[in-house]
Structure 1
């Protein structure tokens, strides 16, 4: 059976009657004898029996399912909601719907008509439907996409169901193979939006790339000179979205003439739009292009850290959609996303407030009609009505309109935000009263958890746990975070572990579990927790860094190395991560990486001395130790000398650095390098002797004598092929240095120590040698 393209795009009728979806659904339910047979049996059993009695499965079932889904979306997403939207014959199955759609996670308190969604789900998951109409699998993914959006937490059950179906659709179905290009593009964008609900960035990116390739669309951010403010004199480099199209795809067009308006900024300083010096010519975008661009924008928001730079990258995508699109859900969602970003900016927060009010007003307007509101809604990523209302409440809260925000949060039953408002108003006890009132009406797991948070009473978590039948990940999350906030990490771990066992798609729990395990030194559990977190949220350098720490403690340096590389990808400017990577590279024998890391640390810090690392690097080069690739580390001599040259230019008073620099310089074995080494050792000697307390400890005395030994040997080597005058000067300098140290050691009677005797004797012998060489020079004169 081939359904018309409009069926998949969300159009069931050509008229403008906003109740036509409900009317047609009623008509089909009658035609399929669903209303008459729906008595005491469950809805699922009734549907199965009717289908079993049909000799040839009617395509009306597919349309009934899609109409049910659309009616649910109208009630919770697009509006306008009419009083007669409820289906009386189906309303009796409310309890069954709540029971059978249960995946262990509570629904948003603002959801209405869940039984209609349940009807759609039963139809599209029916084996007979799927075997007869392959496209039913796509509708099943859509149902699950909508179901996930009305849940308070992400559901691993839904994700696992849909992963298998999505793979099957585009790999093994004849329907997908024969579908027109525009439907394939639409399918892949919807799949990308689905995966973004779970922060599966890689999977989402894969499907967006397929859609973009099919559409022949090239999108990239570029910089151009322009002005952002009214009084700006010099242009600055600003981002814009460069779009190129390689081909055009035929697809149905349904332009809406009653779009939501974009509220003007009306700021005293900032321009309405960036004024670029050059006229940025963009190709005319079609609906598929706009859908892909908005999905890419959503992908950026989910996949990047939330900071000012990310906002600068996101805004060009949203501006492109807002200025271009004639599609109602795309315009609504783009404006909502822009408002959510502008709440954080004092120059745009007033527009965010006005824009949010304007968007909410759309839900009660009679225009545009249903078909325009539903057209490509699944691919738009448009959020439910309560998300738009929360935007408005958030804007009010940011502007200090606490009571207005509180009223809206109460209406939306956003109890966490209610607690925040009452806390600001110094009425925190009021939050507990409100929650208790709600519990007295209808006790829920969520309310008992929030009461536990509000009153800091673990007994409430225990009540919630029993109420959930000991199946709620939310309860264990709240319970664990209660202990975590009090730094009782050992007590928090069992609850956090149980929470992720019940629902493993909780990045905020995984990262706290990992941290708690680090604190109690449970390295295995810490590594496991941070691994899971990094699978879900790949842009946190702290998580990668902590994962590396756990691996280091477990002795798995190679995995620590890879984790630290991922940390650097997330934050290239954090010197501590480079320092950790440098230490791991030393242990793994990645000596060239050690040098690269040290250079980067110097770029970030300006000055950094890690004598232990520098000593190891010098030793492996000196001893020709094999690196990780079985090559001699002596090959890195030139790079190491460059590093020491940079380091001594920045830090000129560290004796250890000059000494190591000299050790490496001598390895070149030229007269000039011997002279350089002698100079570096002399600098080291001066820096050491500047410390007037060097002789007060055996270890520092020993170091000074060893330095004198190296200094003497260097001067003796570099005076072979020099003029008599230079030789006399150099040997004379060496003689004075050695005499000074030997005299001080004997004055302090340090030569009696066993550790000093041998090295002191060696230095004295070298001094005699130097004196003999000086005498030869004098005799030559």
Structure 2
């Protein structure tokens, strides 16, 4: 098959396999038809599959023949050294790889059970490589070899695969075949190979304990495929052909978006999801419509609703399902009568071949919102305004998957809040309105269960529905093909992950013993230890881990399995732990035994062969807590090189480098942290602090410095800066260093982003204010000063301590700079209108800045600090520049009366230097009154500024002299006050 043939038509077998659709009827006996129809065992037992399985069997036999049979169960075969003969059989290899991948998915995600075991498959494919056995004998030793070898192969970047996943060998076969095809440059022949590699990698990542980054090369090939699909859709003359190309492109972008979601790249995921919806012709919008949510609600209120419409409704729905077991029949047996639960399954409401759906049966809440209007209240005319919110048309299944992915994206990108849950619920309800596919409906029920788990009236249904989803896996209520068809476009959890989620639900409800039983059943030891700790059985938790590490597996399992029920997981052969999982257990023991933590973490690093990111993270955190920042940074750097998807590790690494005053490395670390977790305002704040301490010559190395070899650094002196304050002790309003303008702008931008997520942090606003002044963005500095005052005065009023003084809240150096920028602007600013003055300059000086600074004084500073003399003096300077003489003189009088002229200024009476300063300020004030009081009060007024200025001045002088006469009437400077008073008296006469 050539690439040109595949590109000729979108219903070619290769594209049909990608879409999960059946090839042409005349190809029923072909390999792709059997793969698409779910006949996976038939494909895996075929002669084509045997050709690729024989090298695996040969490798296993070569390794195990040198080991005694009694010790064979402990052998790990290096499956990464197996070379598969795909040349000349590329099409067959791709079909077998898809079948093996779907066999693994069927066993661990969708069900039902697949009777074919990996060892039985290998024996049938290459019987000559295994010794003969009787019918009564089993293959336990060989099963253990296959299972352990597969888990070792699936360990990726130090992250182990889940050890109880069923038949991981099938996933290994798929990965080996797809990699062999990639190495043979089969993408030139089979354009869908990139998508199948992405799908296999996605499945692989979902069985790892923690996510790892996907290869950029793989994502680039999928993007290239998307571009090619765009070109073919544009050249298509038939609308049906064009839709099929667009549908394939939409699915490719949707699966790429899910990959980005798994690795925490939510911004890229959002972009891909919007593109996927547009490609498939999905139109949607959140709107409002009148409706009722409770049974006793009389007046309809505006309810949130998602309006959505597909280009071709039902275009990719499942074909007729011939599965014999309808859901209604299962529903009748799902729950006995009088079970005591309020939420129940109504057999009459079940949809055939779909998961069981529990009804709420609440005495107040309706099963779903009843919309009383037939049109959304705020939908723009001509855009989905024709849709009835309560009776919307069915969507294409691909579009349902897109909406579910968008729902998850809302959860990932928005804070936990009631409004967030309401938005997500609107997406879920729109999908649940029309069940069309088993996997899609399962995912929507799961999301609804999660959303309902936090409400008292819905938590019962939430838990029962989750339990039903767990129990449905082995049933045959729908075909294998229907369950697999849209699996890759959903974030459906594996069955052990769903059981763990059920256990966490029990944990949140306080049902600790039930949660413990489930965690024991799925052998999630870290969660088992946590449950035992909550039950007050910490010692038992340590014993469990120690028994596992000591190899007393039979004893530990016997104790933990006393209440364990028989599950499919019990069929998984018991083998020794792979290196990654053994290292994780040692780290867990280190967490429980702080006194021996370092030794346990180091042992974990050693047993993993230097590949355990968990061990390196634990050692980095251990040394960081001891303030050993040089050792901490070394271990954390090893951790992120193994697995770079841990924002907190990047954050801790950045803090370690800051303490070592290695600002370039710290900035690079915080950049990585913010790329993974954009909402981490503290990281953005620290990044700005690093920028201000860097040198311009270091900027080109920002993207590469962490890839360079770690340099030995014996000096581990800790800097006093924690990334919170940007000022120095000598000049609190100035940056800590002379960073170049480019770096200062980067710092300003970083702080601006930090404020999105720490809007109520006055410390971040302070940093933003200082940097804004430094880069000349004075209007932003004024806004920042406003927020600082609002936040700090509110916090002060809410606390029991005394109200803070203005001097501790208002940065007077910044305030005076703002006033200077207004009053010292170039005089020609407004004279030549044709002069090319930039918009930024106009907004940050002179008349452009004046309204902002005026509002700062009038609305924020003076109402809160009316007795602060420095504020009144700064305000007076601003008013003087605007010829507002009455207000200016009043402000100066207020400044003197609140400051040195106040009765509370006791130093004026006892300290001569203070008295001299007060006397000089009073003389200056009287001079101002004499020179300015007779001028117009304002530019638009003809009245005098202060007609009674002599009376006010004389009163101020007499009051001041009366207060200080007993202390300083014999001082030589006292004569100046006497002359001033006499002059004012003569002027009166």
- In which range does the TM-score fall when normalised by the shorter chain? 0.7 to 0.9
Aligned pair partner of 2:470 in 340, 360, 363: 360
Q: Which residue is 1:659 aligned to?
A: 873
Q: Which residue is 1:692 aligned to?
A: 905
Residues 340 and 352, structure 1, Cα contact 8 Å, conserved in 2:
yes
Per the alignment, do residues 472 and 679 of structure 1 end up closer, same or farther by CA in structure 2, a change over 3 Å counting? same
> Hey, what's the Cα distance between the residues in 1 that align with 2:452 and 2:970?
74
Instruction: Report the secondary structure of 2:493's partner residue.
Output: coil
**1:150 and 2:207 aligned:** yes
**1:214 and 2:261 aligned:** no
The aligned runs of 1:478-497 (5 Å cut-off) are 478-484=618-624, 492-497=632-637
Q: Tell me the alpha carbon deviations over residues 282-306 of structure 1, each in whole angstroms, 9 at most, x when there is no partner.
A: 4422212211111111222222333
Aligned pair partner of 1:196 in 246, 255, 261: 261
TM-score, scaled to structure 2: 0.70
Q: Which residue is 2:524 aligned to?
A: 414
**1:103 and 2:304 aligned:** no
Does 183-192 or 217-226 show the bigger shift? 217-226
**1:67 and 2:99 aligned:** yes
> Hey, what's the Cα distance between the residues in 1 that align with 2:682 and 2:545?
36
Does 704-713 or 508-517 show the bigger shift? 704-713
Does 170-179 or 349-358 show the bigger shift? 170-179
> Hey, what's the Cα distance between the residues in 2 that align with 1:712 and 1:718?
10
Per the alignment, do residues 168 and 383 of structure 1 end up closer, same or farther by CA in structure 2, a change over 3 Å counting? same
> Hey, what's the Cα distance between the residues in 2 that align with 1:567 and 1:136?
42
> Hey, what's the Cα distance between the residues in 2 that align with 1:64 and 1:542?
49
CA deviation after TM superposition for structure 1 residue 225, in Å: 5.5
Does 383-392 or 37-46 show the bigger shift? 37-46
Aligned pair partner of 2:112 in 60, 80, 85: 80
Q: Which residue is 1:720 aligned to?
A: 934
CA deviation after TM superposition for structure 1 residue 110, in Å: 2.7
Q: Tell me the alpha carbon deviations over residues 503-547 of structure 1, each in whole angstroms, 9 at most, x when there is no partner.
A: 222113112333455566654444332211100011222332233
Per the alignment, do residues 225 and 605 of structure 1 end up closer, same or farther by CA in structure 2, a change over 3 Å counting? farther
CA deviation after TM superposition for structure 1 residue 606, in Å: 6.3
Q: Which residue is 1:140 aligned to?
A: 197
Does 227-236 or 124-133 show the bigger shift? 227-236
Per the alignment, do residues 120 and 569 of structure 1 end up closer, same or farther by CA in structure 2, a change over 3 Å counting? same
Q: Tell me the alpha carbon deviations over residues 531-567 of structure 1, each in whole angstroms, 9 at most, x when there is no partner.
A: 1110001122233223333434554432221111112
Q: Which residue is 2:775 aligned to?
A: 588
Per the alignment, do residues 412 and 200 of structure 1 end up closer, same or farther by CA in structure 2, a change over 3 Å counting? same
Q: Which residue is 1:500 aligned to?
A: 640
CA deviation after TM superposition for structure 1 residue 725, in Å: 11
Per the alignment, do residues 72 and 724 of structure 1 end up closer, same or farther by CA in structure 2, a change over 3 Å counting? closer
Q: Which residue is 1:455 aligned to?
A: 593
Instruction: Report the secondary structure of 1:84's partner residue.
Output: coil
**1:570 and 2:757 aligned:** yes
CA deviation after TM superposition for structure 1 residue 706, in Å: 6.0
Residues 10 and 375, structure 1, Cα contact 8 Å, conserved in 2:
yes
Instruction: Report the secondary structure of 1:48's partner residue.
Output: coil
Aligned pair partner of 2:247 in 182, 206, 211: 182
> Hey, what's the Cα distance between the residues in 1 that align with 2:634 and 2:545?
27
**1:537 and 2:724 aligned:** no
> Hey, what's the Cα distance between the residues in 2 that align with 1:704 and 1:564?
42
Per the alignment, do residues 245 and 356 of structure 1 end up closer, same or farther by CA in structure 2, a change over 3 Å counting? closer
Residues 155 and 208, structure 2, Cα contact 8 Å, conserved in 1:
no
CA deviation after TM superposition for structure 1 residue 432, in Å: 1.2
**1:259 and 2:473 aligned:** no
Per the alignment, do residues 650 and 41 of structure 1 end up closer, same or farther by CA in structure 2, a change over 3 Å counting? same
Residues 28 and 60, structure 1, Cα contact 8 Å, conserved in 2:
no
> Hey, what's the Cα distance between the residues in 2 that align with 1:79 and 1:476?
37
> Hey, what's the Cα distance between the residues in 2 that align with 1:411 and 1:706?
85
> Hey, what's the Cα distance between the residues in 2 that align with 1:359 and 1:86?
27
Residues 182 and 250, structure 1, Cα contact 8 Å, conserved in 2:
no
Q: Which residue is 1:166 aligned to?
A: 222
Instruction: Report the secondary structure of 1:123's partner residue.
Output: helix
Can you give the 5+ residue segments of structure 2 that lack an aligned partner in the other structure? 7-11, 61-78, 123-142, 237-243, 322-351, 377-387, 554-575, 695-736, 738-742, 795-805, 830-837, 937-941
Q: Which residue is 2:728 aligned to?
A: none
Q: Which residue is 1:509 aligned to?
A: 649
Q: Which residue is 2:134 aligned to?
A: none
> Hey, what's the Cα distance between the residues in 1 that align with 2:403 and 2:115?
36
Residues 472 and 502, structure 1, Cα contact 8 Å, conserved in 2:
yes
Per the alignment, do residues 192 and 701 of structure 1 end up closer, same or farther by CA in structure 2, a change over 3 Å counting? farther
Residues 414 and 420, structure 2, Cα contact 8 Å, conserved in 1:
yes
What count of residue pairs does the alignment treat as equivalent?
762
Q: Tell me the alpha carbon deviations over residues 90-115 of structure 1, each in whole angstroms, 9 at most, x when there is no partner.
A: 46654553444442321123322121
Residues 310 and 399, structure 2, Cα contact 8 Å, conserved in 1:
no
CA deviation after TM superposition for structure 1 residue 274, in Å: 3.9
Per the alignment, do residues 603 and 494 of structure 1 end up closer, same or farther by CA in structure 2, a change over 3 Å counting? same
Aligned pair partner of 1:9 in 9, 15, 19: 19
Per the alignment, do residues 727 and 309 of structure 1 end up closer, same or farther by CA in structure 2, a change over 3 Å counting? closer
Does 77-86 or 570-579 show the bigger shift? 570-579
Per the alignment, do residues 147 and 537 of structure 1 end up closer, same or farther by CA in structure 2, a change over 3 Å counting? same
Q: Which residue is 1:675 aligned to?
A: 886
Q: Which residue is 1:33 aligned to?
A: 51
The aligned runs of 1:589-628 (5 Å cut-off) are 589-601=776-788, 609-612=809-812, 613-624=814-825
> Hey, what's the Cα distance between the residues in 1 that align with 2:434 and 2:924?
75
Per the alignment, do residues 240 and 83 of structure 1 end up closer, same or farther by CA in structure 2, a change over 3 Å counting? same
Per residue, is there more helix in 1 or in 2?
Answer: 1
Residues 216 and 248, structure 1, Cα contact 8 Å, conserved in 2:
no
Per the alignment, do residues 709 and 369 of structure 1 end up closer, same or farther by CA in structure 2, a change over 3 Å counting? farther
Residues 659 and 680, structure 1, Cα contact 8 Å, conserved in 2:
yes
Residues 34 and 42, structure 2, Cα contact 8 Å, conserved in 1:
no
Q: Which residue is 2:84 aligned to?
A: 48
**1:312 and 2:422 aligned:** yes
Can you give the 5+ residue segments of structure 1 that lack an aligned partner in the other structure? none
**1:298 and 2:408 aligned:** yes
Residues 653 and 669, structure 2, Cα contact 8 Å, conserved in 1:
yes
User: What is the aligned-residue RMSD (CA, Å)?
Assistant: 3.7
Instruction: Report the secondary structure of 1:405's partner residue.
Output: helix
The aligned runs of 1:700-739 (5 Å cut-off) are 704-705=918-919, 707-709=921-923, 711-721=925-935, 729-739=948-958
Instruction: Report the secondary structure of 1:318's partner residue.
Output: helix
Instruction: Report the secondary structure of 1:33's partner residue.
Output: helix
Aligned pair partner of 1:119 in 161, 173, 177: 173
Q: Which residue is 1:379 aligned to?
A: 489
Residues 199 and 303, structure 1, Cα contact 8 Å, conserved in 2:
no
Per the alignment, do residues 726 and 196 of structure 1 end up closer, same or farther by CA in structure 2, a change over 3 Å counting? closer
CA deviation after TM superposition for structure 1 residue 375, in Å: 1.4
> Hey, what's the Cα distance between the residues in 1 that align with 2:970 and 2:116?
103
> Hey, what's the Cα distance between the residues in 2 that align with 1:306 and 1:354?
24
> Hey, what's the Cα distance between the residues in 2 that align with 1:273 and 1:287?
21
Residues 134 and 175, structure 1, Cα contact 8 Å, conserved in 2:
no
Residues 349 and 399, structure 1, Cα contact 8 Å, conserved in 2:
no
Q: Tell me the alpha carbon deviations over residues 132-172 of structure 1, each in whole angstroms, 9 at most, x when there is no partner.
A: 2121111011101111111112223x333423322332246
Q: Tell me the alpha carbon deviations over residues 25-58 of structure 1, each in whole angstroms, 9 at most, x when there is no partner.
A: 2343456634556542377777633x34x4xx35
Per the alignment, do residues 589 and 312 of structure 1 end up closer, same or farther by CA in structure 2, a change over 3 Å counting? same
Instruction: Report the secondary structure of 1:498's partner residue.
Output: helix
